[in-house]
Each structure stands twice: as C-alpha cells, then as structure tokens.
Amino acid sequence: ALSKTTEKENGRPNILFIVTDDESWDTVGYNNPRLKTPNIDALAKRGMIFRAGHCAATPCVPSRMCMSSGLQFHRWDRSSPNIFEQALKEGSWTWMHALRNAGYRTGLIGKGHYYPIRASHGFDVMQLCDHPPKNKAGLTDPPWRDDYTEFLKEKGVTELEDPKTGQRRPIRGLFDGFQWPHSIDLH
C-alpha cells in the first residue's frame, strides 16, 4: 500500500492513475457492451473517465514518456540515441515529481518502460514487471531488477516455459500473442 491515510484524514484525494497497454477507447466494457471488463468498469463508475484524450505517440514507450513528462514526442530528452534504449532521460521532470513535491507518496506498479527500468522519475515505491532488454535480463540489482521475474523464479516457473511440455516456447517477436500458460495466480 502506498498510503495509510485516507482522503478524509489528509484533506486531499488519493489518486490512482491506471494505464493499460495499447488499448483503444472501445476495448472496455463501459464503452462496448460486447466486452466484459467488470473491474475496469467498476473503477470507471467510481472515478473519472477522460473522454477526449489523445495519444501523443502510438507506440507504448514514447506514449508513456509523453504522459510522464507532459511533453510532445519530439520534445523530451532521450536516455540514449539507441532506438531500443530510448526512454525519458533520467532526471527529467515528471508529474510524479510534482505530486511528490506536493506531499504525495508515489508508486509505480507494473511497467513504466523507462530505461533503465528503475530510472528515477519521481516514484517512492516501484514494483515492476517491465521485462528488461535481453542484455540486462536476469540482473537482480537495480537499476534492472524486475520484481515479477523474481516472483516467478521463486515459484519455479518462467513466462517462457510451457508447463505442459516443459519446453521453452518459441519467441516470434515482441507481439507474438501467446496465451498465458500458467495458473492465473501467477499472472
């Protein structure tokens, strides 16, 4: 838990900002009755829905960097000239810094697509499932430690192994669309 104080206790609203990966407006139940997304729908009913939002960049990494910095794609400083290592340069201003400066405790749960994945961008707490690049995968020391990979290792499984065959599943690229092969409690 990021905060033990409630909105009533500190006089400020708690903020939960959820970013799903590469999802369009019609892929949630509250906008498309053919789809069943009960948890997202319940959050939307109790929270705020931005109905006129526009994506600053269509690929997920640049999009997240634009959201974090408030800058358009061509204006934020890159962490590297290498296209596979491009993310918001560490030390750049983010709205998470602004929240922290205003007295909020901030956290990132999931993936931010920063480079390195634990780059300092204003989060007090980070629990990551961010899949570091191949040349950094398996490193357990910051800035590359992936909490989810470590969790799976503790359970004796890997995302890349098919539990039915014990064989490593083929990787056909970043968007191979494989089905999750393990029990739901490991997802």
CB 145 within 8 A of CB 131: no
Say how many C-beta atoms besides its own lie within 10 A of residue 42's C-beta: 12
SS3 107: strand
Q: List the catalytic residue out of 54, 60, 129, 131.
A: 60
Q: What residues have CB less than 8 Å from 5, skipping those under 6 apart?
A: none
Task: Answer for the pair 28, 44: CB distance below 8 angstroms, yes or no.
Answer: yes
> Catalytic residue at 55?
no
Q: Is 66 a catalytic residue?
A: no
Active-site residue, selected from the candidate residues 66, 74, 97, 113: 113
Q: Which residues are catalytic?
A: 60, 113
